[in-house]
């Protein structure tokens, strides 16, 4: 429940910046997303780091470890009012350390078309691999 505001903020951000799918987020109810987070943590396939301020959670990062040398940067969210404080960098540094410590050699991150976060990922060596075209909902 504490991550709900961040997940909601990410959906709102995607709706603002998405070139082709404004208004289509969230793709599933927030409570379902948070339940899936809890299940993934319980099954030990995900890790989550949280950055907190006095006012509450400022951002979080969720990574998935597939056990075959691959992983996924599933979520990286910093609330709009908390940006510019290097939280994105801190969360990326944490994620990269988790991947490295878990033997992950190939990392996937999906970025909504139009999201400026792609620049942060590029600083960490991520490069465009594919354009995924979608039709319908």
Total number of domains constituting the chain: 1
For 40, the domain range is: 4-123
Give a yes or no: residue 106 inside a domain: yes
Percent pLDDT > 90 in the chain is 53
Give a yes or no: residue 131 inside a domain: no
CA angle (7, 8, 10) in 5-degree steps: 65
59: domain CATH number? 3.40.630.30
The answer, yes or no, to whether residue 20 has pLDDT greater than 70, is no
Residue range 29-83, pLDDT digits in tens: 778 887 888 899 899 999 999 999 998 899 999 999 999 999 999 999 998 899 9
Query: Among 20-24, 60-64, 89-93, 96-100, which stretch is predicted with the lowest mean pLDDT?
Result: 20-24
Q: How many helices (H) and strands (E) does the chain have?
A: 4, 4
Q: What is the rounded distance in angstroms from the CA atom of residue 65 to the CA atom of residue 44? A: 8
Q: What pLDDT does residue 61 have?
A: 95
Given a contact cutoff of 8 angstroms between Cβ atoms, the answer to whether 6 and 79 are in contact is: yes
Give a yes or no: residue 133 inside a domain: no
Q: What pLDDT does residue 45 have?
A: 95
pLDDT band at 22 (very low <50, low <70, confident <90, very high): low
């Amino acid at each position: 429940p504490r991550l709900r505001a961040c997940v909601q903020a990410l959906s709102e951000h995607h709706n603002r910046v998405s070139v082709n799918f404004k208004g289509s987020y969230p793709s599933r109810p927030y409570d379902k997303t948070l339940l899936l987070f809890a299940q993934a943590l319980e099954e030990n396939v995900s890790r989550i780091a949280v950055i907190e301020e006095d006012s509450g959670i400022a951002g979080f990062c969720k990574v998935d470890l597939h056990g075959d040398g691959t992983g996924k940067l599933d979520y990286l969210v910093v609330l709009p009012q908390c940006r510019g404080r290097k939280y994105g960098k801190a969360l990326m540094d944490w994620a990269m350390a988790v991947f490295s410590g878990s033997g992950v050699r190939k990392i996937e991150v999906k970025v909504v078309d139009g999201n400026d976060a792609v620049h942060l990922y590029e600083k960490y060596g991520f490069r465009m691999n594919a354009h995924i075209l979608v039709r319908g909902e």
